[in-house]
Chains A and B, each alone.
Chain A
Amino acid sequence: MKKDYVMGNSAIALGALSAGVKVVCGYPGTPSTEIIETIFRVPHDNVHLEWSVNEKVAMEVATSAAYSGARSLVTMKQVGLNVASDPLMSLAYVGVKGGMVIVVADDPGPISSQTEQDTRAFANFCRIPVFDPASPEQAFQMVQDAFLYSEKYHTPVILRPTTRVCHAYASIEFNENYCVKPYEGFVKDSSKWVIFPKLSFANHAMIEKRNVTIGNDFSSYKFNCVTNAKASSKKAVIATGDSYAYAKEALLENQEITLIQVGTPHPLPENFLLKALEGIDDVLCIEELSPYIENEVLRLCGKHHLKLNVYGKNTSHVALSGENSVQSVKRSINKFLGIDKTDDIAFENIPNLPIRPPVLCAGCPHRAAFYAVKVAMKNKKSYFCGDIGCYTLGNAKPLDMVDTCLCMGGGVTMSQGFNFVDKEATSFAFIGDSTFFASGLTGVVNAVYNEANVIICILDNSTTAMTGHQPHPGTGFNLMGNFVDKVDISKVLEGIGVNTIVTVNPLDFKASVDAVKDCASIKGVKVIIFKAPCISIVKPHKPVKFTQKCNSCRVCIKKLGCPAIIMNEGKVAIDTSLCVGCNLCAQICPRKSIEESKCE
Chain B
Amino acid sequence: MNKDILICGVGGQGTVLASKLIASAAMSENNIVHSAETIGMAQRGGSVTSHVRIGQNAFSPLIPDHCADLILSFEPAEAVRNLKFLKKDGAVIVNSQPIKPITETLDNTGYDGSNMIEYLKQNCKTCIVVDGKYFSDNLGSSKFFNIAILGVACGANKLGLDKDSLIKQIETKVKEKFVEVNKKAFELGIKIGEQNAA
Contacts and interface: CB of A to CB of B under 8 A. Distances in A.
> Max chain B CB contacts within 10 Å: which of A30, A246, A354?
A354
A567 interface: yes
Interface residues of B, number: 56
A152 interface: no
Interface stretch (A142-150, A339-347, A490-498): A339-347
Contacts, number: 154
Given A5-B23, A171-B27, A359-B102, A249 B57 contact: yes
Size class of the A contact interface (CB-based, 8 Å): 35 or more
Contacts of B39: 30-31, 34, 112, 167, 468
Nearest to B109: A354
Contacts of A171: 27, 32-33
A169 B36 contact: yes
A272 to B, nearest CB: 21
A344 B87 CA distance: 11
Interface string B80-96: 11011010100000000
Contacts of A397: 103, 106
Contacts of A246: 59-60
> Max chain A CB contacts within 10 Å: which of B66, B102, B105, B111?
B102
Nearest to A572: B105
A325 B41 contact: no
Interface stretch (A49-57, A379-387, A553-561): A553-561
Contacts of B34: 168-170
A245 B45 contact: no
Interface string A545-558: 00000000010011
A393 interface: yes
Interface string B36-80: 111111111111000000000111111011100000000001001
B15 interface: no
A327 interface: yes
Given A168-B61, A248-B59, A567-B100, A356 B105 contact: no
A577 B141 contact: yes
Nearest to A360: B44
B60 A325 contact: yes
B115 interface: yes
B80 A357 contact: no
B45 A350 contact: no
A359 B27 CA distance: 36
Contacts of A347: 83-84, 86, 123
Contacts of B84: 346-347
A112 B41 contact: yes
B116 interface: yes
Contacts of B58: 249
**A interface SS class:** loop
B10 interface: yes
B45 A356 contact: yes
A356 B40 contact: no
Contacts of A468: 39
A112 B66 contact: no
A466 B143 CA distance: 22
A5 B80 contact: no
A185 interface: no
Contacts of A358: 11, 41-46
A3 to B, nearest CB: 9
B36 A164 contact: yes
Contact of B27 (A5, A245, A563): A5
Contacts of A398: 106
B23 to A, nearest CB: 6
Contacts of A356: 10, 45-47, 77, 101, 103
B109 to A, nearest CB: 8
Nearest to A33: B39
A403 B38 CA distance: 28
B35 interface: yes
A537 interface: no
A413 B96 CA distance: 48
A358 B42 CA distance: 5
A390 interface: yes
Contact of B106 (A112, A390, A557): A557
Contacts of A396: 102
A580 interface: no
Given A30-B40, A167-B37, A346-B88, A357 B103 contact: yes
Contacts of B102: 359, 396, 561, 563
A246 B34 CA distance: 14
B192 to A, nearest CB: 21
Contacts of B116: 351
A111 interface: yes
A558 B106 contact: yes
Interface string A446-479: 0000000000000000000010100000000000
A242 interface: yes
Contacts of A167: 36-39, 61
Contacts of B10: 356
A361 interface: yes
B134 interface: no
B119 interface: yes
A252 interface: yes
A567 B105 contact: yes
Given A351-B80, A557-B106, A359 B45 contact: yes
Contact of A566 (B11, B61, B83, B105): B105
A29 B101 CA distance: 26
A170 B56 CA distance: 12
Contact of A164 (B24, B62, B81, B123): B62
A354 B43 CA distance: 17
B64 A249 contact: yes
Interface in A477-532: none
B83 A350 contact: yes
Contacts of B57: 249, 252
Contacts of A346: 66, 83-84, 86, 88
B104 interface: yes
Contacts of B143: 577
B142 interface: yes
B61 A354 contact: no
B44 A390 contact: yes
Interface string A318-348: 0000000111000000000000000110110
A538 interface: no
B65 A327 contact: yes
Interface string A221-246: 00000000000000000000010011
Contact of A245 (B47, B59, B66): B59
6 contacts: A112-B41, A327-B65, A347-B86, A359-B101, A563-B102, A566-B105
Given A169-B37, A325-B64, A563-B45, 13 more contacts: A169-B33, A169-B36, A170-B34, A171-B33, A242-B61, A350-B83, A351-B115, A354-B111, A357-B103, A361-B45, A561-B105, A561-B106, A563-B105
Cβ-closest 7 pairs across A and B: A112-B40, A168-B61, A326-B64, A358-B44, A30-B40, A358-B46, A245-B59
Interface of B: 10-11, 23-24, 27, 32-47, 57-62, 64-66, 77, 80-81, 83-84, 86, 88, 100-106, 108-111, 115-116, 119, 123, 136, 141-143
